[in-house]
Amino acid sequence: MTDVEAVNRLVDSYKKLKEEIAKVIVGQDEVVQDVLISIFSRGHCLLVGVPGLAKTLLVNTVAQSLGLTYNRIQFTPDLMPSDIIGTEILDEARHFRFIPGPLFANIILADEINRTPPKTQSALLEAMQEHAVTAAGKRYELSEPFFVLATQNPIEQEGTYPLPEAQLDRFMFNVLLTYPSYAQEISVVKNTTSDYTPKVNKIISGEEIVFYQQLVRKIPVPENVISYAVTLASRTRPHTDKATQEANEYLSWGAGPRASQYLVIGAKCHAAFHGKYSPDIDDVKSVAPAILRHRLVRNYKAEAENISVENIVERLLKME
């Protein structure tokens, strides 16, 4: 199969996945697209939204349509690293045997990730970065494909542990879930208050996902697109050569090189999903808000003047 034929197959699979997920998830088209881009780009995704917006249901539905193993971990203040990694036990033959924890699945829903202490967050960070965990000095590889889809409640911050910048940076996307429209909410209420239970079919296998991940990496990128992605990230870094006036005025820290990498790989996947064999600058702009919003740190002046990260990213994307 040629790469062109493979991209055409990916477009077909993407359309079928969206149709299957839409049986359960009403609206949220951009959210679904971003989650799928992060999966096919071999990235992780942070879902931020108030309770009741179907974050958990979305992840569960995606896992079913992809035919992958799925575990949900409810993060709480008393959760220990061994609770998610696994632990060694002494069996009847008096040998130590490792019992894998819930991290050993293809898709992990880290529910309310900011409610657990830093020690447990660091254990998850290793799994996200290395696709492996360490227990009792031994390294255990996680099965591929492996994704972490974490949720965070932006309202109730009591009893939470803010995610370190290093861990936030490991998430490819920070996706904001908003309230549904009136018509969408009518549809949600009708579907969820009747005896109708939609059946979600498996569309592709884990092996196909790994194949498509490799395909996305092989997509060629024009030099001007790479230059734009790197320039966009550079403009967010205050008091550097390419920093914009807004960055110098309103930001303490900007996006690092990982943002540039994700902008390019995300643009590749976005282009492939829409039947293009090479990304352009519009593809970079499409994925930029979700990639940049959790990597920019506002300063006191921005908070005092109520200048949001969204405002700054919006201005950046309007620049030539």
Domain boundary among 174, 192, 210: 192
Q: Which of 3-12, 74-83, 161-170 has the lowest mean pLDDT?
A: 161-170
Q: Chain-centre distance of CA 250, in angstroms?
A: 26
117 & 158 share domain: yes
Is 279 a member of any domain? yes
Query: What percent of the chain is modeled with pLDDT above 90?
Result: 22
Q: State the pLDDT at residue 92.
A: 73
Pairing of strands 173-176, 45-48: parallel
**SS3 sequence of the chain:** CCHHHHHHHHHHHHHHHHHHHHCCCCCCHHHHHHHHHHHHCCCCEEEECCCCCCHHHHHHHHHHHHCCCEEEEECCCCCCHHHHHEEEEECCCCCEEEEECCCCCCEEEEECHHHCCHHHHHHHHHHHHHCEEEECCEEEECCCCCEEEEEECCCCCCCCCCCCHHHHHHCCEEEECCCCCHHHHHHHHHHHCCCCCCCCCCCCCHHHHHHHHHHHHHCCCCHHHHHHHHHHHHCCCCCCCCCCHHHHHHEEECCCHHHHHHHHHHHHHHHHHCCCCCCCHHHHHHHHHHHHCCCCEECHHHHHCCCCHHHHHHHHHHCC
Residue position matching structure tokens 């193993």: 69
Q: State the pLDDT at residue 112.
A: 85
Is 167 a member of any domain? yes
Over residues 148-200, the pLDDT tens digits come to: 988 887 665 555 667 777 778 889 999 888 887 888 888 888 877 877 777 88
23 & 169 share domain: yes
Residue 249 near residue 242, CB atoms below 8 Å: no
111 & 57 share domain: yes
Structure-block tokens of residue 309: 């990260």
Is 211 a member of any domain? no
Is 87 a member of any domain? yes
Higher pLDDT, residue 295 or 157: 295
Over residues 68-78, the pLDDT tens digits come to: 888 899 888 88
Q: Give the predicted TM-score (pTM) of the model.
A: 0.88
Residue 91 to residues 95, 99, 133, Cα–Cα distance (Å):
6, 11, 22
CA gap 266, 40 in Å, rounded: 9
Q: State the pLDDT at residue 158.
A: 58
Over residues 215-232, the pLDDT tens digits come to: 999 999 999 999 999 999
CA gap 40, 64 in Å, rounded: 16
- Structural domain span for residue 313: 220-318
Is 213 a member of any domain? no
Over residues 84-125, the pLDDT tens digits come to: 888 878 777 777 778 888 889 899 998 888 888 888 888 888
120 & 235 share domain: no
Residue 70 near residue 60, CB atoms below 8 Å: yes
Is 214 a member of any domain? no
188 & 224 share domain: no
Is 199 a member of any domain? no
pLDDT at 22 over 70: yes
CA gap 125, 164 in Å, rounded: 10
185 & 233 share domain: no
313 & 241 share domain: yes
Query: What percent of the chain is modeled with pLDDT above 70?
Result: 97
31 & 137 share domain: yes
Structure-block tokens of residue 197: 């239970």
7 & 70 share domain: yes
Count of domains for the chain: 2
Structure-block tokens of residue 237: 């870094």
What is the per-residue burial (b if ≥16 Cβ within 10 Å, else e) of 12-27? ebbeebbebbeebbbb
87 & 226 share domain: no
Q: State the pLDDT at residue 138.
A: 83
Residue 207 to residues 3, 15, 146, 160, 214, Cα–Cα distance (Å):
17, 19, 12, 37, 11
CATH of the domain at 276: 1.10.8.80
The end-to-end CA distance of the chain, in Å, is: 39
Q: Which of 249, 256, 320 is nearest to 294 (CA)?
A: 256
CATH of the domain at 158: 3.40.50.300
Cis preceding-peptide flag for 117 (omega within 30 of 0) = no
145 & 19 share domain: yes
Is 209 a member of any domain? no
